[in-house]
C-alpha cells in the first residue's frame, strides 16, 4: 500500500470532490436529453468511453511513488 503526503492527499480529495460536483450538475442536465434523443445504449457507451479515457489519463499522468518515502513522494508531486 502506498502512502501519499498529506498535502497531496488533501489536494486529490478536494479536486475529486469538485469534479464530482461538476459531473453531477452536467449529468443531471444532459442525461435526460441524451436518453430522449439517442437512447440508453448510446448514453451508456458514451459514459463507458469517458471512464476509459479518464483511466488512461490517470495511468499516464499520475506519478509513480512505489518504493519512495513520504518526503520523496512530496517532492515528486510538487514538480
Give residue-wise pLDDT tens across range 46-65: 999 999 999 999 888 877 77
3 pLDDT band, cuts 50/70/90, is low
User: Comparing 77 with 33, which gets the higher pLDDT?
Assistant: 33
Domain segments of the chain as ranges: 49-79
Cα–Cα distances in angstroms (integers) from residue 73 to residues 12, 51, 60, 64, 76, in the given order: 14, 27, 17, 9, 5
Cα atoms in the 13 Å half-sphere on the side-chain side of 78: 9
Look at residue 41 in the predicted model and tell me its pLDDT: 96
Give residue-wise pLDDT tens across range 15-46: 999 999 998 999 899 999 999 999 999 999 99
Q: Give the number of other CB atoms < 10 A from CB of residue 73.
A: 19
Look at residue 48 in the predicted model and tell me its pLDDT: 96
Amino acid at each position: 500500500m502506498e502512502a501519499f503526503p498529506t498535502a497531496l492527499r488533501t489536494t486529490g480529495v478536494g479536486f475529486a470532490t469538485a469534479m464530482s460536483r461538476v459531473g453531477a450538475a452536467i449529468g443531471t442536465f444532459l442525461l435526460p436529453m441524451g436518453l430522449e434523443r439517442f437512447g440508453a445504449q448510446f448514453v451508456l457507451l458514451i459514459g463507458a468511453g469517458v471512464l476509459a479515457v479518464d483511466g488512461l489519463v490517470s495511468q499516464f499522468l499520475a506519478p509513480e511513488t512505489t518504493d519512495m518515502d513520504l518526503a520523496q513522494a512530496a517532492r515528486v508531486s510538487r514538480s
